[in-house]
Structure 1
Amino acid sequence: MKFNLADGTTVRITAVTSRAVRAAVPVPGRPGVLRLRGRTPGEAVRDLAEQRLAVRDRHLGVWVLTQRGAGVRELLDTAPGVAVGDADDGGWGGQEPTRLTVHPEVDDATAAHLDAAALRRHQPPPRPPRPARPPASPPRVNDHWIYPVGGAALVAAGLVLVAAVGGLVLLPILFVAVFVAGAVAVAKAISTSVSKSVSTPAPRQVQEAADREWERRLLLQWRDWYVGPDALDTEARALLARTQSAVDAVLASSLHDQGLLLDAVRNRVVLADVEWAVADRLRGHTRTRRTMASTPTPGEHSLRAAARAREVLDQDVARVEARVRVLEDYAAKVRAAEMERFDRQAAERLDALAVEAGVDHEQQDEALSSLVQAQELALRVASLTDELLGSGPPGGPEPPGSPEEGR
């Protein structure tokens, strides 16, 4: 984001420097002085210092905002949010959708569950905790094994005594029997102790596994009522990403919040309908392209049919892309209207210093003109749904039950 300051210079504010300036805090005992927080990244401090927005105070030993930096902070507090097309590359967002596109008739709670489940599905499962390090001394075994072993030892001693008195022939046999009995008793005691020391799965692991299974079933149950990146090929994903970027830019604007486009509720409903219509059509394009890619064309007839199918598909893709461009134009007009209002507010501040006659009136006319253009495009966008797919839920069964069922 770039700001033209009244002294004729321009400052460039990145996301990192914007956070640093916004997070500046007052210095106790120094009215009007704002210092950067201690954990401000070094790159942000250097950038602010190079643009004379921050300087190191020799007395305080910290970085503080200059008067110029304080003015930029005020601009950031009143500036419209960074919208589509505001990226450093001048593009309309990335080439990947940022979320699921859910059918407008799906309630907000279910839509949120679906989006969260889709996000977690692509995350690796949590690693099990490391086993505890064994203690330096051997673990205490169950003391109950002492009694049978002790009893066996006493019996063995008696038998050895009998054997010694009665004859030396039975001595080796009795010795082996006592040794085996003692070894069995000791082994049983040790195995019991070890089995008790083996840790069972932690309750948190069990709950996470149950949550993942529930989310898997939820996504499968509602699979016809949302479109995600996995359902689209590369070309379709790029178009859906552009659609989502334009929709998000309009809904994040102050004009939408104030109901200056369509009324806020209608604007949200219209944009959700258009986004779903585009996403559903793009899912159909993906299926068609995949079918065509896997269908053999052994002869002349099949080749001609494949060419006709590609032509029809290309025409429909062009129609959808034209609708996406309308959405992008809408977002750009909303952004322009926001910036003109912001520009007028800055001019009013300067007018208080320079008292330039007529400047405020001119700015108001320009802002009004831009706002009217945005409103006209809002009405154009409202007609896109019927042109794309028409209204109504997708074919098939009724929506599944509440996602809370069966949890």
Structure 2
Amino acid sequence: MRVLSLSTLFPNPQRPAFGKFVANQMRGVAATGDVDLTMVSPIGVPPWPLSRSARYRKLEELPAESDCDGIRVLHPRFTLIPKLGGDSNPARIAKAVLPLVRDLHAQDPFDVVDAQFFFPDGPAAALVAKALGLPLSIKARGSDIHYWGQRPKALAQMLRAAEQAGRVLSVSHALRRDMIALGMPEDRISVHYTGLDRERFHPMERKAARALISAIPELGIWAEGPLLVVPGALIALKGQRLAIAALERLPEAHLALAGVGEDESALRLFAQGRGLTDRVQFLGQVSHDLLPQLLSAADAVVLPSEREGLANVWIEAMACGAPLVIPDVGGAREVVDGRSAGRIAARDPTAIAAAVADLLSDPPSQEDVAANAERFSWEANAAELIGFWRELAGR
């Protein structure tokens, strides 16, 4: 079966960690040997002279084609209108993609067109699928629904694409309900849970993991006291400020922020203003190789996001034996469905601190926490996704 998958969230030589969760899924698909997969990851570049800024110049220098662990990835350029043109990106993406995929389709026909994010990918893929006369599958992941679904022009395009799609996928039952509430066809929305790299994410004894990462210069984690880890980009959406404020009520704990982003300076000032500089550590971007050790070392993983679908890092943390403290967003209750998995806490410093204190007072074993992630694997994820595609293709 030949599948053409479009994803604006996908690693490239300039941003190797960007959209890693999509790459992990597609790596699982490719590993089955059942699918001839072509990934199209369009690159948005603004008109000159904006295209010469440092931010976009590196993207403009990307090759037209790259390889991601054996997966062929094509990088057509589309015209990006920064800040103003988000609602109209799908049409420009389709215009850039269609000449390329028409030629590929003529040489060796595709069976299915797939989109791995609902906006702008979904409406763009719908235009491509219609032009090629192929069935369409679209996956929703969370912010694509919760953010773009609040913008009337984007929502109208998303609803048209959902009507065209033979199958619409959601990363959680909670997100599925939100999609139905927006007007998407209930009978065509299936839940497709994320996967997990079991070889990489598994418990390392907490004290041993703590000692290991404390000895790594680029991390230098404190060796004593409860360790709370907040993984993710340093942006307001992820709620790191709430986790820092909660630390005032947890006098023995330390907080490690694993990620980079535009809020770093503001978060450092926020911690300094509360006298918490000596208990808040900024780790920067933690490599995928070190992340399992960091998660295994954590007494809890705190992620007070404003919105999520079903975050991959929730599953990765549990698989390493780190219980979660997360708000009731997206599929949180589908993941934290027992006390060994962690606690659901309101997006409030007092509630977060209380949840952490409750966990620390009676911590579950790492093995009991990890058992909550047993149902997740990239193999199961890939098999289910291929099943959806086969159904669409009639194969």
Question: TM-score when scaled to structure 1?
Answer: 0.27
Q: Which structure has the larger Rg over C-alpha atoms?
A: 1
| Structure showing greater relative contact order (alpha-carbon pairs closer than 8 Å, 6 or more residues apart) | 1
Select the structure that is richer in helix: 1
Question: TM-score when scaled to structure 2?
Answer: 0.28
Select the structure that is richer in strand: 2
